[in-house]
């Protein structure tokens, strides 16, 4: 979706046709203070953090049920808010349901440690919530990213203030509404709306916020990381990527080509883990590229609710301008655009923010367009000679979010998977992102791990407790 900011509201525009979807009021500084105070009060007084974990789990299950009951309207709203194909939007609601169920289970089964005794005491750890967590998300997968933060943060006993992107503001209030209806105590999940540099910046700087969980671009992540460092509050950063998708000559090329196409053109490339650099072994380079270009040209680019749609529009008209500028930059660097490289022509596309699947080759791997994230359906192709050459190129960016490796040789897959600097390694598959497996970046792709059991620990601090067992008074010196 696209939003145009009026004085005090965000207007959501459907990127498929330019129509208005809805409006939300921008949170004022005074309202932000009141929201943080309400979150703190709910954290201290609602009894949520003292609730037995299995009782908190009941509420999380009820939220999951509430989401599931509204799957179709939520998916449709997300489709109109940011233009993703309806099947993907349904999948994201399913993901959100699964996240609440998973963290309900983790919440009631998570164990802490009894630590080895070294004296007359019993020592063990407990987990304590941070208080008010600021959860800040980008526009590409709202309901899914929201659940990925809100479910574990609540499970750990925190209050959450969720700030969706100004470019996709409509799903977060729905999640808060459903959570309230499911019985979540008042004030434990609140939403603020507005631009990052204003409302987002004020939220992370607010004294009443005890932990920051951010997903978005690396540039913003650095700014937030600096603020968190100054304030000495923990911060989790899920940032950008330029993930290498590696095809060795011995790969099953049918599967590899399909996965490379899905990895970059799924979600119109607006995915942090998009496989945006194809690294292909020289001996199969021409064949793989020819098949890929053929597949790219046959992708069904259509309205997000059209039958058989594979790729919808980009999420906003201004994002399409950014993606096109990226492609122009690649051309200026000497890249050859093998397909795409522009908006599609034809009356079906005129009113929407569509962009053609684009494949570019002929660039050196240190070209800006091989280093920077396009966050669109743009793939750069880089041939490699051998494993050493591959590893050097694959690791030769500042990012380290994910990678894919296609080979039938399991030892080579193991070696390469261990050598690549990435938080997620997909071998003979791609873009599997599940709520039960940790996810996060190496290098400039982030700090911390969401999802999995680590995803709950992210929102809790360890407290060590000692129960004295000594029979005599403690001596001053021993």
Q: Which residue ranges make up the site for ligand NAD (CB under 6 A)?
A: 136-140, 163, 165-166, 195-197, 200-201, 204, 215-217, 220, 223-224, 238-241, 272, 373, 375, 401, 441, 446
We find the least distance from the C-beta atom of residue 216 to ligand NAD, in angstroms, to be 3
In the complex, residue closest to ligand NAD by CB: 196
Q: Which is nearer to ligand NAD, 261 or 274 (CB)?
A: 274
We find the least distance from the C-beta atom of residue 439 to ligand NAD, in angstroms, to be 7
DSSP string, 200-230: IHHHHH-TT--EEEEES-HHHHHHHHHHHHH
We find the least distance from the C-beta atom of residue 468 to ligand NAD, in angstroms, to be 45
Query: Looking at 166, 174, 238, 373, which residue is catalytic?
Result: 238
> How far apart are alpha carbons 164 and 463 in whole angstroms?
31
| Other beta carbons less than 10 A from residue 200's beta carbon | 22
Annotated active-site residue 107? The verdict is no
- Mapped onto helix, strand or coil, the DSSP state of residue 96 is helix
Query: Looking at 272, 310, 370, 403, which residue is catalytic?
Result: 272
Residue 59: closest CA among 71, 72, 47: 47
> Which are the contacts of 10, defined by CB distance < 8 A and separation ≥ 6?
3, 4, 23, 24, 26, 166, 169, 193, 194
Sheet-wide strand order for 211-215: 189-191, 159-163, 132-136, 211-215, 235-238, 446-447
> Which are the contacts of 456, defined by CB distance < 8 A and separation ≥ 6?
103, 106, 107, 110, 152, 155, 156
We find the least distance from the C-beta atom of residue 307 to ligand NAD, in angstroms, to be 28
Per the DSSP assignment, residues forming a β-bridge with 424 are 402
- Mapped onto helix, strand or coil, the DSSP state of residue 339 is strand
We find the least distance from the C-beta atom of residue 435 to ligand NAD, in angstroms, to be 13
> How far apart are alpha carbons 272 and 307 in whole angstroms?
26
Q: Where are the alpha helices (DSSP H) in 70-141?
A: 71-82, 86-109
Planar angle of CA 65, 21, 199, nearest 5 degrees = 80
- Mapped onto helix, strand or coil, the DSSP state of residue 242 is coil
Q: Which is nearer to ligand NAD, 83 or 240 (CB)?
A: 240
Q: Which is nearer to ligand NAD, 66 or 377 (CB)?
A: 377
Q: Which is nearer to ligand NAD, 240 or 352 (CB)?
A: 240
> How far apart are alpha carbons 271 and 273 in whole angstroms?
5
We find the least distance from the C-beta atom of residue 256 to ligand NAD, in angstroms, to be 23
Residue 35: closest CA among 44, 23, 27: 27
CA dihedral 431, 63, 101, 53 (to 10 degrees): 130
Annotated active-site residue 238? The verdict is yes
Q: Which is nearer to ligand NAD, 14 or 407 (CB)?
A: 14
Mind spelling out the 3-state secondary structure of 121-138? EEEEEEEEECCEEEEECC
We find the least distance from the C-beta atom of residue 24 to ligand NAD, in angstroms, to be 13
Catalogue the E-assigned strands of 130-195.
Answer: 132-136, 159-163, 189-191
What does the DSSP 8-state code read for residue 19? -
We find the least distance from the C-beta atom of residue 142 to ligand NAD, in angstroms, to be 10
CA dihedral 343, 349, 352, 358 (to 10 degrees): -30
What does the DSSP 8-state code read for residue 451? S
Q: Which is nearer to ligand NAD, 77 or 202 (CB)?
A: 202
We find the least distance from the C-beta atom of residue 201 to ligand NAD, in angstroms, to be 4
What does the DSSP 8-state code read for residue 383? E
Q: Which is nearer to ligand NAD, 149 or 291 (CB)?
A: 149
> How far apart are alpha carbons 280 and 249 in whole angstroms?
8
Q: Which is nearer to ligand NAD, 172 or 390 (CB)?
A: 172
Residues labelled catalytic:
238, 272
């Amino acid at each position: 979706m696209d939003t145009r900011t009026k004085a005090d509201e965000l207007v959501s525009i459907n990127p498929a046709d330019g129509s208005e979807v809805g409006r939300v009021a921008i949170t004022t500084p005074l309202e932000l203070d009141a929201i943080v105070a309400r979150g703190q009060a709910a954290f201290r007084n609602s009894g949520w953090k003292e609730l037995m974990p299995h009782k908190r789990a009941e509420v999380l299950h009820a939220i999951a049920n509430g989401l599931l009951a509204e799957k179709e309207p939520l998916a449709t709203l997300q489709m109109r808010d940011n233009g993703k194909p309806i099947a993907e939007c349904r999948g994201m609601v399913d993901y959100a349901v699964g996240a609440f169920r998973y963290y309900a289970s983790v919440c009631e089964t998570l164990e802490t440690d009894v630590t080895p005794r070294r004296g007359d005491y019993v020592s063990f750890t407990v987990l304590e919530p941070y208080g008010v967590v600021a959860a800040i998300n980008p526009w590409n997968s709202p309901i899914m990213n929201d659940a990925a933060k809100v479910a574990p943060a609540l499970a750990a006993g925190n209050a959450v203030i969720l700030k969706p992107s100004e470019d996709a503001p409509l799903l977060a209030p729905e999640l808060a509404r459903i959570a309230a209806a499911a019985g979540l105590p008042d004030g434990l999940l609140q939403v603020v709306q507005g631009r990052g540099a204003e409302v987002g910046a004020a939220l992370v700087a607010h004294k009443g916020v005890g932990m920051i969980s951010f997903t978005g671009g690396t540039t913003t992540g650095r700014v937030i990381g600096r603020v968190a460092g100054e304030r000495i509050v923990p911060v989790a950063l899920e940032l950008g990527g330029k993930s290498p998708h590696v095809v060795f000559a011995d790969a099953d090329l049918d599967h590899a080509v399909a996965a490379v196409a899905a990895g970059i053109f799924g979600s119109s490339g607006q995915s942090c883990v998009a496989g945006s650099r194809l690294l292909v072994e020289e001996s199969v380079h021409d064949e793989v590229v020819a098949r890929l270009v053929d597949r790219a040209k046959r992708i069904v680019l259509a309205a997000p609710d059209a039958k058989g749609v594979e790729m919808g529009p980009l999420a906003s008209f201004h994002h399409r301008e950014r993606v096109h500028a990226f492609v122009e930059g690649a051309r200026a660097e000497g890249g050859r655009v093998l397909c795409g490289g522009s908006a599609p022509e034809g009356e079906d596309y005129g009113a929407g923010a569509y962009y053609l699947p684009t494949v570019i080759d002929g660039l050196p791997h240190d070209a800006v367009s091989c280093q920077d994230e396009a966050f669109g359906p743009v793939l750069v192709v880089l041939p490699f000679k051998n494993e050493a050459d591959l590893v050097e190129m694959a690791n030769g960016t500042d990012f380290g979010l994910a990678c894919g490796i296609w080979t039938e040789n399991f030892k080579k897959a193991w070696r390469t998977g261990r050598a690549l600097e990435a938080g997620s390694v997909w071998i003979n598959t791609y873009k599997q992102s599940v709520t039960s497996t940790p996810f996060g970046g190496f290098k400039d792709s982030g700090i911390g791990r969401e999802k999995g059991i680590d995803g709950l620990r992210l929102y809790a601090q360890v407290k060590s407790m000692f129960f004295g067992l000594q029979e005599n008074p403690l001596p001053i010196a021993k």
